[in-house]
Chains A and B, each alone.
Chain A
Amino acid sequence: MTATLEKPPVAEAPVKEPRDWRGPALFALVAVIGLVVMPLVLEPFRLGLLAKYLTYAIVALGIGLAWGQGGMLTLGQGVFFGLGGYAMGMHLKLNDAGDGLPDFMVWSGVETLPALWEPFRNPVFAIAMVVVVPGAVAWLLGTLVFRQRVRGAYFAILTQALAAAMVILLVGQQGLTGGTNGLTNFFEFFGRDVAADSTQRGLYFTVAIVLGVLFVGAWQLQRSRFGRLLLAVRDGEDRVRFLGYNPATVKTITFTISAVMAGIAGALFVPVVGIISPALLGVVPSLELVVAVAVGGRFALAGAVLGAVLMGYAKTYFSEELPDAWLYLQGALFILVIGLAPKGIIGFFRRKDVAA
């Protein structure tokens, strides 16, 4: 606070901008906790849970960007999470099956490998698709929708409908997608036993580092001119047009970035948890993450991440201790936050003088 209370002399330096090291310092601290302390303290099972929450945190980061910064309330991030997850799952299934067919196809009476599956044998192709497919779907949707100035609740409903449609599509194509069960029973992950502690440990580090890198990227984006423009679009889309920018482009780019993040999260989720199925990407899980972001604080990227991790822990804790109470508690927490602390948990810690 003290730095900003003193006004700089006007004539000399009217635009002197303070450099703030608290953000990077806090990031470094969290990185040390995440990469050193947690792996030392947590037993493998708990570390695996944290890895799962961190994949959710990656989705949440994207939601924070699209919703918190860009005002696009996306209720269907599960779609992109699923697209990434299935791309990875398909590769792992094919890898496990060797020359044969994935197990569920055999059970469903499929005799030859569907053409859609074939290229996913190639790990590079599969990993590329983790990014390309969610990105392309979001880009297409954004281009169609934002140009027509669909926004607010209409956009939210549209994305939610997309999540519902995705589930129906997956469940309906039993032989192609594994139906309700999804893709599971993975054995090998890039040459390692996926269930081994050492593999899971490595996966934890991978997830944590990917989250860290994406966070820094999103942070940079937020601080850039583009980030300022995104805020402007959120707060006054129509005014932005008269500054010579096309808000539809800004929104499409941001939505695509958030979708790619969700796709990467989905791909990491698969080896960590060992399954991808329609139940993990439908309306409910998509909404849960939006609630988590709101609880953590949607106007700050760190709030989105914090919310996802906290809500993940809360869900596990209450499901273990009070299985019936969790849903109600989650709902109550959401109402409480929206009503009393619209800036979420992180809102209590943030300084007022920093631009959102």
Chain B
Amino acid sequence: MTALLEVRDVSVVFDGFRALDGVNFTVDHGELRFLIGPNGAGKTTLIDIITGLTKPTTGTVGFDGSVINGKREHQRVRLGIGRTFQTSVVFEELTVLENLDLAASFRRPLVSLLARRKGVTEKVAEALETTGLGELAQKKAGVLSHGQRQWLEIGMLIAQGPRLLLLDEPVAGMSADERARTGELLTEIAKDHTVIVIEHDMDFLRRYASTVTVLHEGKLLIEGSVDEVRADPRVQEVYLGRAREEAAHDVVS
């Protein structure tokens, strides 16, 4: 059986800057994969390549056995690739319920969208349940807290029913409590989905990650279990080196 996602030899050049350099990245069905690396390593760019927001300069993106380079964003969603964004974007003028319902309805024929939503579909109810946002269903998304927005985004992703979920720093800026809840949410989702998560936070990683891919300066550094990755001298150098630089920066400023 082929892998669900196969990124082959992808390079991205922005105005001469090589954001990704010959990256090969494969994710199997049902995997929960973490993608880490220092700032500027190309993590978000890689996600953008997979979802169609950015076009690769060279290389191919394969999904479920076929190359999807030519597909546009919404077409890729229709194939079953869903994502969240680093800074969550929910529709503030719509209620939580409407946000979720919109996410769940994209497979309906356009004409049927002209009807009003009646009640709550199973998928939406499930997403409300999983994210624990049931109480807020009738509230406009604009009033949600940062953490709740992220959960709503994840909920929208669940409601889409994608085969591959890409989460870009879902716990960034969250409190410890919120992190823990998001972690549980993630493990819950990962049970029956293929998930790729970008995450900086090492603690979070230690608790929830199975396989980790490390990117550094646009290249794939290493791939393996959390322990393998942590033990790798190159990873330590990348992270410790960065820590040292930051420390130096702190002293100077």
Residues on A lying within 8 angstroms of B by beta carbon are: 4, 7, 10, 14-17, 220-221, 223-226, 228-229, 231-232, 235-236, 239-246, 249, 253, 355-356
Q: Which of B74, B78, B83 has the most CB of A within 10 A?
A: B74
Instruction: From known contacts A14-B128, A224-B113, A228-B101, infer whether A244 and B94 are also in contact, taking CB-CB under 8 Å.
Output: no
Cα(A356)–Cα(B137), bound, Å: 17
Q: Give the segment of B38-46, B58-66, B102-110, B186-194 that binds chain A.
A: B102-110
- Does B160 lie at the interface of the complex (its beta carbon under 8 Å from any beta carbon of A)? yes
- Does B130 lie at the interface of the complex (its beta carbon under 8 Å from any beta carbon of A)? no
- Does B117 lie at the interface of the complex (its beta carbon under 8 Å from any beta carbon of A)? yes
Report the 7 A-B pairs with minimum CB-CB distance, sorted nearest first.
Answer: A244-B106, A244-B77, A14-B134, A241-B73, A226-B113, A225-B113, A239-B89
Q: Are B114 and A229 interface neighbours, CB within 8 A?
A: no
Name which residue of chain A comes closest to B156, CB basis: A243
Q: Are A15 and B116 interface neighbours, CB within 8 A?
A: no
Q: Which of A221, A226, A246, A355 contacts B93 (CB 8 A)?
A: A355
Cα(A223)–Cα(B114), bound, Å: 9
> Using Cβ atoms and an 8 Å threshold, which residues of chain A touch B115?
224-225
Cα(A10)–Cα(B129), bound, Å: 11
Instruction: From known contacts A15-B137, A225-B115, infer whether A244 and B78 are also in contact, taking CB-CB under 8 Å.
Output: yes
- Does B135 lie at the interface of the complex (its beta carbon under 8 Å from any beta carbon of A)? yes
Cα(A221)–Cα(B82), bound, Å: 27
> Using Cβ atoms and an 8 Å threshold, which residues of chain B touch A7?
135
Q: Which of A225, A229, A249 has the most CB of B within 10 A?
A: A225
Q: Which of A225, A245, A249 contacts B117 (CB 8 A)?
A: A225
Instruction: From known contacts A17-B138, A355-B98, infer whether A232 and B91 are also in contact, taking CB-CB under 8 Å.
Output: yes
Chain B interface size, as a band, is 35 or more
9 A-B pairs (CB sep. < 8 Å) = A225-B114, A226-B110, A232-B94, A236-B91, A241-B73, A241-B77, A244-B107, A246-B74, A355-B140
Q: Are A235 and B93 interface neighbours, CB within 8 A?
A: yes
Cα(A235)–Cα(B99), bound, Å: 12
> Using Cβ atoms and an 8 Å threshold, which residues of chain B touch A246?
72, 74
Q: Which of A14, A17, A223, A241 contacts B74 (CB 8 A)?
A: A241
User: Closest approach, in angstroms, between the C-beta of B192 and any C-beta of chain A?
Assistant: 20
Main SS at interface, chain A? helix
> Using Cβ atoms and an 8 Å threshold, which residues of chain A touch B24?
none
- Does B51 lie at the interface of the complex (its beta carbon under 8 Å from any beta carbon of A)? yes
Q: Are A15 and B97 interface neighbours, CB within 8 A?
A: yes
Q: Which of A14, A228, A239, A245 contacts B98 (CB 8 A)?
A: A228
> Using Cβ atoms and an 8 Å threshold, which residues of chain B touch A356?
93
- Does B95 lie at the interface of the complex (its beta carbon under 8 Å from any beta carbon of A)? yes
Cα(A10)–Cα(B103), bound, Å: 23
> Using Cβ atoms and an 8 Å threshold, which residues of chain B touch A239?
85, 89, 91
User: Closest approach, in angstroms, between the C-beta of B91 and any C-beta of chain A?
Assistant: 5
Name which residue of chain A comes closest to B92, CB basis: A235
Cα(A355)–Cα(B141), bound, Å: 10
> Using Cβ atoms and an 8 Å threshold, which residues of chain B touch A220?
114, 116
Q: Which of B83, B116, B119, B135 contacts A225 (CB 8 A)?
A: B116
Cα(A225)–Cα(B82), bound, Å: 20
User: Closest approach, in angstroms, between the C-beta of B246 and any C-beta of chain A?
Assistant: 33
Cα(A240)–Cα(B74), bound, Å: 8
Name which residue of chain B comes closest to A247, CB basis: B74
Q: Which of A10, A16, A229, A249 contacts B102 (CB 8 A)?
A: A229
Name which residue of chain A comes closest to B73, CB basis: A241
Q: Are A243 and B93 interface neighbours, CB within 8 A?
A: no
Name which residue of chain B comes closest to A234, CB basis: B93
User: Closest approach, in angstroms, between the C-beta of B34 and any C-beta of chain A?
Assistant: 21
- Does B120 lie at the interface of the complex (its beta carbon under 8 Å from any beta carbon of A)? yes
> Using Cβ atoms and an 8 Å threshold, which residues of chain A touch B97?
15
User: Closest approach, in angstroms, between the C-beta of B152 and any C-beta of chain A?
Assistant: 12
